[in-house]
Chain A
């Protein structure tokens, strides 16, 4: 049983590390602010969930697991809010998305 848990957390931790790395490379190489935000949010959501669940499996049923659940809930609740606030602030300040990436539906209405 413990070997199964160990293998499972190994897999989850490695996938989590990979997601974080992919998000980091994306944030560096993407052409525009909004696409970089997409990349960064991969690290905050997938990376955080996989890594923290992987550690939780190692911790078993203890106080540490409850604290980890609290950290995970907090991260999942606040990182989309920060991305939203950042994107709306950038949009209202006039940063335009990359020309080839998207069609702005609000154009002409502002």
Chain B
């Protein structure tokens, strides 16, 4: 029955994708992409992958939509007329799709208990996590400890993306002064969203912190928490104006956050070396190896969360400042 629900959601996703491709109004395309992201997140949830579903929703449906819209505010709304030579592109895309579909014939069937991943890798992680790390959420254990190098690479990718955008767009410090009639426009003029926002933003921040530190016990972790905290500050910027959001968390502080996150992660790794183990070996961080692993995962998740918050907020301010 769950499979039927999943297939239904995927059918809706295909319809959305066709609509995204066929429309030429880019705002419509952005909103349909938000819908597509929610549908995919629903599908991940049906497949029992809660961490991925949370990240997809927080980053895809929320932050990506906001960033696409701020980019679209700087350009035109309609797509320019497409160039010709559609036959060649159709042939290339069809060939690539055929090759990909042919490659999936060799994969084991979905959920096959005899597949290599189910007989070697997954049972090993499931058995060894209570022994080495002893936290209930195996996904965080794999992400933080067993595959810590990969997560280090991810943090550096986020860091590089943030630096790249800031090089292109500037750091978001305003170039001129805001025209006076714009200060009270838009949502800032309406009392109801502002009051509701002021009531909600502290709780959203608290929820972000909860997701950050709860990552060892349930769905959560650094990426999701960073996106939620960034979303709350973006809400503040939407409701109270960007100047006030920049006075709360200035561009310098955000640059500091972008730098400190990967630094924390790397420092935990180097601390492992200095205390006698390997790079990113958390067992040596404390007298009890299991406690050391938990402490290590806590610290690196904090580093990840700080990086993601800093990058997303800097990119948002960079786009929004250009709009003036």
Q: Mark A residues whose CB is within 8 Å of B.
A: 74, 77-78, 81, 84-85, 88
How far does the alpha carbon of A81 sit from the alpha carbon of B199 in the complex, in Å? 12
How far does the alpha carbon of A85 sit from the alpha carbon of B195 in the complex, in Å? 13
How far does the alpha carbon of A84 sit from the alpha carbon of B195 in the complex, in Å? 13
Q: Can you list 17 A-B pairs with a CB-CB distance of less than 8 A?
A: A74-B200, A77-B196, A77-B199, A77-B200, A78-B196, A78-B200, A81-B192, A81-B193, A81-B196, A84-B190, A84-B192, A84-B193, A85-B187, A85-B190, A85-B192, A85-B193, A88-B190
Task: Determine the residue in chain A with the shortest Cβ distance to B207.
Answer: A70
Q: Which residues of B contact A85 (CB under 8 A)?
A: 187, 190, 192-193
Q: Which residues of A contact B192 (CB under 8 A)?
A: 81, 84-85
Q: Which residues of A contact B199 (CB under 8 A)?
A: 77
Task: Determine the residue in chain B with the shortest Cβ distance to A77.
Answer: B196
Least Cβ–Cβ distance between B7 and chain A, in angstroms: 20
Least Cβ–Cβ distance between B176 and chain A, in angstroms: 26
How far does the alpha carbon of A88 sit from the alpha carbon of B199 in the complex, in Å? 21
How far does the alpha carbon of A34 sit from the alpha carbon of B187 in the complex, in Å? 20
How far does the alpha carbon of A96 sit from the alpha carbon of B200 in the complex, in Å? 32
How far does the alpha carbon of A65 sit from the alpha carbon of B190 in the complex, in Å? 34
Least Cβ–Cβ distance between B206 and chain A, in angstroms: 11
How far does the alpha carbon of A88 sit from the alpha carbon of B192 in the complex, in Å? 11
Least Cβ–Cβ distance between B77 and chain A, in angstroms: 14
B178-193 interface (Cβ within 8 A of A):
187, 190, 192-193
Q: Which residues of B contact A78 (CB under 8 A)?
A: 196, 200
How far does the alpha carbon of A84 sit from the alpha carbon of B187 in the complex, in Å? 11
Interface string of B42-72 (1 = CB under 8 A from A): 0000000000000000000000000000000
Q: Which residues of B contact A77 (CB under 8 A)?
A: 196, 199-200
Q: Which residues of A contact B196 (CB under 8 A)?
A: 77-78, 81
B184-229 interface (Cβ within 8 A of A):
187, 190, 192-193, 196, 199-200
How far does the alpha carbon of A74 sit from the alpha carbon of B193 in the complex, in Å? 14
How far does the alpha carbon of A81 sit from the alpha carbon of B239 in the complex, in Å? 12
Task: Determine the residue in chain A with the shortest Cβ distance to B194.
Answer: A81
Q: Which residues of B contact A74 (CB under 8 A)?
A: 200
How far does the alpha carbon of A85 sit from the alpha carbon of B199 in the complex, in Å? 17
Least Cβ–Cβ distance between B246 and chain A, in angstroms: 23
How far does the alpha carbon of A21 sit from the alpha carbon of B190 in the complex, in Å? 32
How far does the alpha carbon of A85 sit from the alpha carbon of B194 in the complex, in Å? 11
How far does the alpha carbon of A78 sit from the alpha carbon of B199 in the complex, in Å? 11
How far does the alpha carbon of A84 sit from the alpha carbon of B192 in the complex, in Å? 8
How far does the alpha carbon of A74 sit from the alpha carbon of B197 in the complex, in Å? 11
Least Cβ–Cβ distance between B224 and chain A, in angstroms: 16
Q: Which residues of A contact B200 (CB under 8 A)?
A: 74, 77-78
How far does the alpha carbon of A85 sit from the alpha carbon of B192 in the complex, in Å? 8
Least Cβ–Cβ distance between A29 and chain B, in angstroms: 19
